[in-house]
Amino acid sequence: MSLSSLATIVVLNLLGALSPGPDTILITRLATKSRRHAVAAVTGIQVGVLMWTSLTVLGAAALLTAFPQLLGLVQLLGGSWLVYMGYSTFKAGWDSRSAVPMSLAEQEAQLGRLRHTFRTGLATNLSNPKIVLFLSALIAPLLPASPSIGVAITLILAMSFSCYVMFVIIAFVVSTKAVRRKLLAAGPWIDIAAGSFFMIAGVALAITGLRDIVGF
């Protein structure tokens, strides 16, 4: 596989990852409160990205596109998770909208343990199987028909590591103290906006999954 083909696949993958979605919204929201928690979420998201890219490179992702009911079930479960997370985030923001703005340290402490944030990042990424459709439509046609183990590992690591670096950069930029201080008073409204996005995205994903399951 040529370097130009590898570079094309990596760039397309990064463009897809950059598009607004649950992963980027979660990272941005957490980064306004805590850099450590944002990076923990990025790491969890990356485990999910590693799974999806591995399935695509190894050809297993085609099973989800070949069996709409299976993809629909994953979408229904994932959409339900996003609605739950969105409601929790929205409620937290709504309940604190009239409270005295917390300090940076208090906001970070409110997020809880890093391992919990890691699991949230992982669940958020796994809840959105649309990445499979993107990878199958744009990335899979560029892959070698029968990649060797070496080529497969190179592709998986290149796609996964580049996404991880990109998300970490986003987390570091947004989580600078200057940016966090400016957004301190807007914290509840950021939670409300993020929660609303998660709920809307979750409902849309669940409806799509339900339609695939029943065949509409």
**What pLDDT does 39 receive?**
95
- CA 107 to each of CA 37, 100, 104, 112: distance values in angstroms, whole numbers, following the listed order: 11, 12, 5, 10
Query: Tokens 């993107």 sit at which residue?
Result: 134
Model pTM score: 0.77
Higher-pLDDT residue of 149 and 114 is: 114
97 — phi, psi (to 5°)? -65, -25
Residues 46-70 pLDDT 10s? 998 888 888 777 776 566 667 777 7
Give yes or no for residue 205 having a pLDDT over 90: no
Buried b / exposed e along 76-87 (16+ C-beta atoms within 10 A)? bbbbbbbbebbe
With cut-offs at 50, 70 and 90, classify the pLDDT of residue 147.
Answer: low
* Radius of gyration from C-alpha coordinates of the chain: 18
